[in-house]
């Protein structure tokens, strides 16, 4: 069975601090995808990134960076120099490459960035 764990329920930081959101996943499959989605207060789910299981290179996109480590089954997300607009709930998700490609979500981490 597949599972995604986001142990941090809520994180509060002051603007300009760096913050890391943790994600640990479980799967027996060797081919899978990992995702991060952002859910701002408006409610929509915004796609941030997809990584496949064969690509462990870290990725940076502006203030966002992702650290994928298969050895620890983790796919952590770091926001550098956080801003108030980063306040949202962030979801990590796993998709196994079988017939479904369905997304299995973690419970989410609520990030509050205070001015």
C-beta neighbour count of 98 within 10 angstroms: 11
Could you say which DSSP state residue 43 is in?
A: -
Using only C-alpha atoms, the chain has a radius of gyration, in whole angstroms, of 14
CB 75, CB 68: distance < 8 Å: yes
Q: How far is the CB of 46 from other proteins (least distance, A)?
A: 8
Nearer to other proteins, 13 or 103 (CB): 103
Q: How far is the CB of 51 from other proteins (least distance, A)?
A: 11
Site residues (vs other proteins, CB under 8 A): 33, 35, 37, 42-47, 50, 91, 95, 97, 99-108
Which is nearer to other proteins, 45 or 112 (by Cβ)?
A: 45
| Token representation of residue 36 | 């991060």
Strand partners for 95: 33, 103
Calpha distance 46→64 (Å, rounded) = 14
Smallest distance from the beta carbon of 30 to other proteins, in angstroms? 16
Nearer to other proteins, 8 or 82 (CB): 8
79 or 104, CB closer to other proteins?
104
**What is the nearest approach in angstroms of other proteins to the Cβ of residue 81?**
26
């Amino acid at each position: 069975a597949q599972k995604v764990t986001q142990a941090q329920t809520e994180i509060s930081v002051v603007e300009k601090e760096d913050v890391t959101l943790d994600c640990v996943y479980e799967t027996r499959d060797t081919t899978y995808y990992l995702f991060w989605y952002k859910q701002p207060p408006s409610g929509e789910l915004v796609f941030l990134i997809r990584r496949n299981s064969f690509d462990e290179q870290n990725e940076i996109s502006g203030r966002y960076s992702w650290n994928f480590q298969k050895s620890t089954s983790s796919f952590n997300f770091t926001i550098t120099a956080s801003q108030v607009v980063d306040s949202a709930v962030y979801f990590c998700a796993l998709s196994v490459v079988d017939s479904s490609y369905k997304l299995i979500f973690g419970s989410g981490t609520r990030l509050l960035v205070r001015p």
